[in-house]
Amino acid sequence: MAYFDAASSEPLHPQAREALLAAIDVGWADPARLYGQARRAHLLLEQARTEVAEALGARADEVSFTASGTQAVHLGVLGTLHGRRRAGRHLVVSAVEHSSVLHAAQLHERDGGTVETVGVGLTGRVDPATFAAAVARPDTALACLQTANHEVGTLQPVAEAAAACREHGVPLLVDAAQTAGRVPVPAGWSVLTASAHKWGGPAGVGVLVVRKGTRFRSFLPEDERERRRVPGFENVPAIVAAAAALRATAAEAAEEQARLSALVDRIRRTVPGIVPDVEVIGDPVDRAPHIVTFSCLYVDGEALLTELDRAGFAVSSGSSCTASTLRPSHVLEAMGVLTHGNVRVSLPRGASAAEVDRFLGVLPELVRRIRQDAGVT
């Protein structure tokens, strides 16, 4: 089976597995206590925090660990809005943000706040000038922009957005889930979120980074753990494994991400030539190195995924977070591109050229057969 769904979850990195097994034996105690086992767990937790901070370009005391990337986003968005209530109650987001950002925005609206959604072009990229005009509104409390889109891979103009936010005194929350450990995060952000299982760490570990000087107040009942930002007992072994995976992935990134990017280029070039009526989606150049998405006219996406699964390929379709609903992906809708027969290929660490060639070899016949069964020739 060729696993091509790394944008949903990257397979556990070997160094993460090794670190997890070791930490289970020595990092199980409560890191907030004072006895020997607890001090050992505390040291492991703080070492992991330092390693994650270094990889993300932050200070260790700015980093908190959460139970997931989604929780990190919810805490980051709503906590920053809560901390800046005196500045205003207006939130700016892009139309292609992850559903966790959009769900937090909906909650903010229900609580009496306002939200402005900035649209994107055909490649899925926000126009920097339009984003800057949105954050210029005087009562803007927070702006949110992902580093790269989770469905089509397009990189967003984070540096330009950060400059506009800085000019208007607005903090920028950056969702770095698809790029953390793979490509450097642009500077200028105030709050950053990420998810360990996207870079080869275990599931159940998210990262919330709040820059010093950024007003933040958790909307949840206060807890003494994780800088009073995240309530609950830390999963020290999983956090240690997450840090090990991030360190290893970042060390390999220059070589491995370039290799994966070349394989993605091959898919982007080849698919339109071997499958009729197909649209390759997203920016061909300014993109995450591991993601490519295309849509096939007159093809049911679920049927295509099922056939690819039978042929030995694990891929996703449409939005990975709304795949069980009948509504088309909000990302593809916002871009104004074809939503039929959508396939997202996201290559994990170690994906081979032979696997990609085999995928390209079986794809045309599978599409032809589905179209034929639907009465389209």
pLDDT higher than 80, residue 335: yes
CA distance to 10, 152, 293, per residue, from 124 (Å): 23, 8, 12
Average pLDDT, the chain: 95
Look at residue 325 in the predicted model and tell me its pLDDT. Answer: 52
Active-site hit among 144, 165, 296, 321: 321
pLDDT category, 326, cuts 50, 70, 90? low
Look at residue 228 in the predicted model and tell me its pLDDT. Answer: 85
Mean pLDDT of 13-24: 98
Return the DSSP state at 148. Answer: B
**217 in the Ramachandran plot: left (φ > 0), alpha (ψ -120 to 50) or beta?**
beta
**Residue extent(s) of CATH 3.40.640.10 domains in the chain:** 14-248
Mean pLDDT of 163-169: 97
**Residue extent(s) of CATH 3.90.1150.10 domains in the chain:** 253-374
Separation of alpha carbons 311 and 294, rounded Å: 18
Predicted structure pTM score: 0.94
pLDDT higher than 80, residue 323: no
CA distance to 39, 40, 43, 233, per residue, from 32 (Å): 8, 11, 11, 9
Reply yes or no on domain 14-248 having CATH 3.40.640.10. yes
CA distance to 146, 210, 338, 368, per residue, from 376 (Å): 38, 53, 17, 9
Look at residue 340 in the predicted model and tell me its pLDDT. Answer: 85
Active-site residue, 165 included:
no
Look at residue 319 in the predicted model and tell me its pLDDT. Answer: 41
Pick the CATH number of 253-374 from 1.10.10.10, 3.30.420.10, 3.60.20.30, 3.90.1150.10: 3.90.1150.10
pLDDT higher than 70, residue 14: yes
DSSP string, 197-247: GGTTS-TT-EEEEE-TT-----SSPP-SSGGGTS-S---HHHHHHHHHHHH
pLDDT higher than 60, residue 92: yes
